[in-house]
Amino acid sequence: MKRTKVILSIALALIIGMIAVLPAFAVETGKITVTGVTAGQTYNIYRVFDMTAIKNGDVVNASYTINPVWNDFFTGTGAGAAYISDTNIGNALNPITIGSSTKYINITEANIANFAAAAQEFAIPLAPTATQTAAEGATSLVFDGLALGYYLVYPYGATQVKEGEASLCSLDSTTFEVSIKAKSTYPTITKTVNSEGSGSFNVGDTVNFTINGTVPNTAGYTSYIYEISDTMTSGLEFNEVISVKVGDTVLNPFPAEDYTLIKNADNKAIGFKFKLSGVKTYTVGDPIVVTYSATITSDALVTNEQTNSASLRYSNDPNNIDETYTTTTPPTVVEIYTGTVRVKKVDGDGNPLTGAIFALKNSEGKYYKFDGDKVTWVDNRDDATTKTTAIEQDENNQDIAIAEFAGVSDGTYSLEEVQAPDGYNPLNGDVTGITVNSKGNGQNDIVVKEVENRSGSLLPGTGGIGTTIFYIVGAILLLGAGILLISKRRMSTKVSD
């Protein structure tokens, strides 16, 4: 009995000792935080490589294998086969077991973007390892409880990958949490007016708008919708699409079936829709440039600025390509401003003065002319549009005398008084220093310039006609006095004789 106890004790000690020296097999999970997400968009993650971590103290042995659903991608003629190497290039690649062979994962900083693009196309029909949709206001998504391995993060339906970047990350035995930016993006457009983000113009000016986009990566789509819609407010009237250019290809003329005018209730053209056919035939990443023109109409003579907004509708689901599976971008807006110069006429006591006539001049000395539809600038004042001060009520319902020059672009202006009110002295020179800055103020600028006239006798100025008259009269009197003096002397001489 005693012998049996000793044997059992020895066996127990051996078992405990063996347990102490056996490798510890740990099952770990990881977490991926995706930042830079877009509200309403779906984000899928796919485990491309599986990883098993075997820990023994501080020593970790990792074993990678291909996730079975990705076998066709990495073997045979699959696009991923180029990223599996038979040798450990630079002794810096992770080993992977394929069948009974050891090979190496050849995904580097130099080729990761191309790998991700190919992997995204292969992933389209696959069921994701996990999926989430970004809520309104969300800036990130967290995928937790993930098995270790290599993961592809794919914003589903995204068709653009930023150059040199890709959403690929690794959860391994030393890194259980990873934060990665959603680097695949959705199509967007931008817009300018006369090459700027906003502009200030005269009523009647014709301006050019430009929409810029990029040819998306439509791999995995059998067809792709890329449609630009552009609409304008009442102070802008659409004229024509000047050109459509994709890369170096100018579509002139572009297919009529791809182009539709947008009109208002008065049958006035306020914009257009343009659907770019054959997107898949163009080079991914090439610029798409649409240029068109519009005229600023008299409807722009209001307080609020005019806007031109454009949006893009694009396909968002490679597995469903009909018209319902699209996304429309938020509008990109260009603001158009036009300003007003108002003359407030007062007497010396600040009372309103009606009947003063003014002309407006720009920085080039040309005069304002407005025919009801278009502001132009003319050389002669006789051809200009003059304005006469008349009574209006201000915001406090007080009478003021106003003359208004509306529909002018940003710039520096001066006022020339053509005629002073009856009984008041005319101004001595132009009223200067009037600056319209609608664009800088972010709204249609209304500049009010108070101009004062004084009553009473107008004294002649130095060098004026009054001084000249005095000189002439004085000279005549002096000459007359001289003649009279000479005559008297002659008469006196004759008497003496």
Closest by CA to 213, choosing from 229, 199, 228, is: 228
10 Å Cβ neighbour count for 185?
17
Residue 374 and residue 206 in contact, taking contact as beta carbons nearer than 8 Å: no
Supply 180's token pair.
């990665």
User: What is residue 383's three-state secondary structure?
Assistant: helix
Alpha-carbon span 203 to 254, nearest angstrom: 30
pLDDT at residue 492, as a whole number = 53
Supply the pLDDT for residue 164: 44
Domain 190-336 and domain 339-452 have a common topology: yes
Q: What whole-number distance in Å separates Cα of residue 389 and Cα of residue 358?
A: 8
Question: 447-477 burial, b if ≥16 CB within 10 A, otherwise e?
Answer: bebebebeeeeeeeeeeeeeeeeeeeeeeee
pLDDT of residue 303: 64
Residue 333's pLDDT is: 95
CA distances in angstroms from 497 to 89, 487, 488, 491, 493, listed in the order given: 143, 16, 15, 10, 6
Q: Which residues contact 407 (CB under 8 A, 6 or more apart)?
A: 202, 203, 204, 298, 300, 301, 338, 339, 340, 370, 375
Distances (CA, A) of 33 to 140, 152, 161, 274, 279: 7, 13, 19, 38, 33
Question: What pLDDT score does 495 carry?
Answer: 47
In this structure, are residues 445 and 337 in contact, taking their beta carbons and an 8 Å threshold?
yes
Instruction: From the options 2.60.40.10, 3.40.50.720, 3.30.2270.10, 2.40.37.10, give the CATH code of 339-452.
Output: 2.60.40.10
DSSP lists the bridge partners of residue 107 as: none
Secondary structure, 3-state, 88-101 = CHHHCCEEEEECCE
Q: Which residue has the tokens 């998504």?
A: 141
CATH number of this structure's domain 190-336: 2.60.40.740
Position 51 scores a pLDDT of 85
Q: pLDDT, tens digit, for every residue of 296-315?
A: 999 888 768 899 999 999 99
Dump strand ranges (E) for 384-480. Answer: 387-388, 390-393, 399-408, 411-419, 431-436, 446-452
Determine phi and psi for 399, rounding to 5 degrees: -70, 135
Task: Identify the pLDDT of residue 15.
Answer: 36
Is beta strand 177-181 parallel, antiparallel or unpaired with respect to 29-35? parallel
Per-residue CA distances from 185 to 23, 112, 224 (Å): 44, 16, 16
Q: How many Å apart are CA 449 and CA 383, to the nearest integer?
A: 24
- 98-102 long-range contacts (CB < 8 A, ≥24 apart) are 98/65, 98/66, 98/74
Domain residue ranges in the chain? 24-185, 190-336, 339-452
User: What parts of the chain have a pLDDT lower than 70?
Assistant: 1-27, 53-61, 160-166, 172-174, 183-184, 303, 456-497
d(C-alpha 248, C-alpha 111), whole Å:
27
What is the rounded CA–CA span in Å between residue 486 and residue 310? 94
- Predicted TM-score (pTM) of the model is 0.73
